Chains A and B, each alone.
Chain A
Amino acid sequence: MLAQQFVNAISLGGVYALFALGFTLIFGVLNVVNLAHGAIFMLGAYTALQAVVLLKFPLALAMGAAIFVTGAAGWLLDRLIFAPLRARQAPHLAPMIATIGVAISLNSTIQGIFGAENLRFPVHGLAAEGLQFGGVQVTGLEIQIILLALILMAVLLWWLKHTRMGCALRALAESRKASALLGIDVEGLFRMTSVIAALLGGVAGVLIALYTNAVFPQMGQPMLHKGIAVVILGGMGDIRGALLGGFFLGCAEVFSVAYIGSTMRDAVAFGLLFAILLIRPQGLFGKAAERRA
């Protein structure tokens, strides 16, 4: 049982980490707590589902459609909300509250079109089959989620460290004013970050919908709550932190079910989180002086 629960914990952690990547990126660069990230995640799942059901797309192409739509949503989000608020130097809370509005509108719209009931992807193949490794059951999809979370994190880290654009982004995260003085296209970078964060959310939505067999308008809400916890635990805006925080929360949840009891799951997992933050308020990877991205 221990080995199986460990696998359960890692794949659940992968799910949380995948969701948290986009969430933490947008915080690190734009300094916005994007509460619409759950809705974007849901949008990705619905887009891919409709592409598969209505347009008869293969799954890979449907994933492309989800990336496109959520990327566009990220672009719009920045163009219509974050950019105007930046331009007017709105206080910190304004963009966060605005994203609550975006989330509710998106959820209601999707619910209006597709109804409140659960839907699922009709495609089935290797991904959902259980594979056995020495008494431990894993699905192909779980392995994909874990690998993808790791790969995406590695790519993001590499890109931030070794490309000019990544350098610019880190500079931007450090100081917006200085970056602008250095001739960096600040607005363009902000917009690009919003797009990348959103499409990461979209990818997570599709994979997690496949993994959990459930697509519904509110699917982003519980994920958002966990995502916030993961990101705070890992250190706001830190990409390695998102991954580690995700795995930590996954382990905390799974092992509290396994050894304490499922009624106590959230109490134990979030109690632990609280305890860690008391000791390390900046999160696992956060630096006290708030250097992000």
Chain B
Amino acid sequence: MSMQPTRVLFGALMALGYFSSLAAAQIKIGVAEALTGNAAQYGVPIRKGFELAVSEINGSGGINGQKIELVVEDEQGKKEEAINVFKKLIFQDKVLMLFGPTLSNSAQASDPVAQGAKVVVFGTSNTADGITSIGNYVFRNSVTEADILPVTLKVAAQKTGLKKVAVLYGNDDIFTKSGYDNFKKALETLKIPVTTTETFAKGDVDFKPQLTKIKSSHADAIVMSALVAEGAPAMVQARQLGIALPFIGGNGMNSPKVFDLAKDNSDNLWVGSPWSSENPAAENKRFIAAYQKVYSALPDQFAAQAYDAVYIVAQALKKVKLSGKLDDDRIALRNALPAAQIAGATGPFKFRQVKDKHGKPAGYDAVQTAIVMMTKGNQYVIQK
């Protein structure tokens, strides 16, 4: 194919002019999420949540007349890749701020890059301890288990009138072990005595010895830090042993997979979540309807948190006067963001500053009330 040189030049000029005029009127935000690999099950709905919110905001005129442009990169759920993608977005694409990465593990590795470059990094799915203590440019709206578990316990205790509990947890998995630590702390705070603490290992399929022991300890409920893979069979086996006690679970048990893996034995499981499809708040209903319209599927917690995150940033951006000087604008956004407050799909939201390990003020965590749900007839029913 051949082209007239003048036409090529003309086209190039057109393109340049077009893009530069567009760039001036746009706010570039980087998205670094796991879009392939194992963590894609979280990263893909997160991306959809971002894109839905951005298209809504742009559709209603953007922010102070400027449209948001997302620069999306796949960090594959890997630390090294997250670092690479962060560098590309910050130094090459020159984004104003970043969303991501998907996993806490990756955030530990890549967030220091953003902190060093003085660029806001905003996680929507990082729940591990110590992420926001990396520095004062690190934000997240994901609610940690340390926040959710005490609320779950408190509501379950109020509603079921439990006096003492037995504990069952997986002791060879970082996630379920840290869930156990948080449960233990919460039980001590609430002064709920523990009758017996039992453990299991990843890949275990038989929980009857532990459950039999729990049964004879006369507990009023079973507090369980487990993933669905072990937790659901444990619930089934408990019911087979004639144990009708309520189960109180962590985020690992907060999955509709429970209804599949513990079918007909899934009742009376209490979990807390930052988001619920059953939450009747107007913002949530609007979000679910819009998501379903665009993607023809039900959203999950990850999409909801990503969707809200964009509105949180939009709230802050409205108050920032962008100068066009990237470094200044990045700092201005950082200074405006902590005050942002919204009522979103996950409910009322604001930030609180955390301290790093030397006690110095660092990044920002979410202040948000968990929604406590109980399973009944193979679905979640909101309790509070």
CB within 8 A of A214: which of B205, B215, B242? B205
CB within 8 A of B213: which of A1, A130, A211? A1
Complex Cα spacing A144 to B228, Å: 27
CB within 8 A of A118: which of B209, B210, B228, B264? B228
A258 touches B205 (CB 8 A): no
Q: Give the total of B residues in contact with A, Cβ under 8 Å.
A: 33
Residue of A139, A263, A266 contacting most chain B CB atoms (<10 Å): A263
Segment among A74-82, A194-202, A215-223, A284-292 that sits at the interface with chain B: A215-223
Q: Is B331 an interface residue (CB 8 A)?
A: no
B240 touches A128 (CB 8 A): yes
Which residues of A from 240 to 276 have beta carbons under 8 Å from B? 253-255, 257-258, 262-263, 265-266
A257 touches B213 (CB 8 A): yes
Residue of B38, B198, B205, B228 contacting most chain A CB atoms (<10 Å): B205
Known: A118-B261, A139-B240. A216 touches B229 (CB 8 A): yes
B209 touches A263 (CB 8 A): no
Mask: chain A, 110-150; 1 = CB below 8 Å from B; 0 = not: 00000011101010100011101000010100000000000
Name B202's closest neighbour in chain A (CB-CB): A222
Hey, which chain A residues are within 8 Å of B379, CB to CB? none
CB within 8 A of A258: which of B204, B209, B232, B242? B209
Tell me the dominant secondary structure on chain A's binding face. Answer: helix
Segment among A4-12, A62-70, A157-165, A174-182 that sits at the interface with chain B: A4-12
Name A131's closest neighbour in chain B (CB-CB): B240
Known: A12-B206, A214-B229. A263 touches B171 (CB 8 A): yes
Name A135's closest neighbour in chain B (CB-CB): B242
**Cβ distance B22 to chain A, nearest Cβ, rounded Å:** 42
CB within 8 A of A137: which of B209, B232, B242, B262? B242
B263 touches A124 (CB 8 A): yes
Name B260's closest neighbour in chain A (CB-CB): A120
Q: Is A208 an interface residue (CB 8 A)?
A: yes
CB within 8 A of B198: which of A8, A118, A212, A257? A257
Tell me the dominant secondary structure on chain B's binding face. Answer: helix
Q: Is A109 an interface residue (CB 8 A)?
A: no
Hey, which chain A residues are within 8 Å of B352, CB to CB? none
Hey, which chain A residues are within 8 Å of B229, CB to CB? 117-118, 214, 216
Q: Is A105 an interface residue (CB 8 A)?
A: no
Q: Is A15 an interface residue (CB 8 A)?
A: yes
Complex Cα spacing A263 to B204, Å: 13
Which residues of A from 1 to 31 have beta carbons under 8 Å from B? 1, 4-5, 8-9, 11-12, 15
A8 touches B233 (CB 8 A): no
Hey, which chain B residues are within 8 Å of A263, CB to CB? 171, 199
A15 touches B206 (CB 8 A): yes
Mask: chain B, 187-205; 1 = CB below 8 Å from A; 0 = not: 0000000000011110111
Name A118's closest neighbour in chain B (CB-CB): B229
Hey, which chain A residues are within 8 Å of B240, CB to CB? 128-130, 137, 139
**Cβ distance B204 to chain A, nearest Cβ, rounded Å:** 7
CB within 8 A of B233: which of A12, A116, A137, A213? A213
A257 touches B171 (CB 8 A): no
**Cβ distance B88 to chain A, nearest Cβ, rounded Å:** 30
Mask: chain B, 312-348; 1 = CB below 8 Å from A; 0 = not: 0000000000000000000000000000000000000
Complex Cα spacing A257 to B171, Å: 14
Name A212's closest neighbour in chain B (CB-CB): B205
**Cβ distance A209 to chain B, nearest Cβ, rounded Å:** 9
Residue of B200, B206, B232 contacting most chain A CB atoms (<10 Å): B206
Hey, which chain A residues are within 8 Å of B205, CB to CB? 208, 211-214, 219, 222
Hey, which chain B residues are within 8 Å of A116, CB to CB? 38
Mask: chain B, 204-231; 1 = CB below 8 Å from A; 0 = not: 1110111011011000000000001100
Complex Cα spacing A139 to B240, Å: 7
Hey, which chain A residues are within 8 Å of B200, CB to CB? 262
Complex Cα spacing A130 to B239, Å: 8
Complex Cα spacing A124 to B266, Å: 14
Hey, which chain A residues are within 8 Å of B210, CB to CB? 257, 262
Instruction: Name 15 interchain pairs, CB-CB below 8 A, sorted by A.
Output: A1-B212, A122-B263, A129-B240, A130-B242, A137-B241, A137-B242, A139-B240, A214-B229, A219-B203, A253-B209, A257-B198, A262-B198, A262-B200, A262-B210, A262-B213
Q: What 18 new A-B contacts, CB under 8 Å, besides A214-B261, A254-B209, A257-B213?
A: A5-B212, A8-B208, A8-B209, A8-B212, A11-B208, A12-B208, A118-B257, A122-B263, A124-B263, A128-B236, A129-B240, A212-B205, A213-B261, A214-B233, A222-B205, A254-B208, A262-B198, A262-B199
Interface residues of B, Cβ cutoff 8 Å to A = 38, 171, 198-201, 203-206, 208-210, 212-213, 215-216, 228-229, 232-233, 236-237, 239-242, 257, 260-264
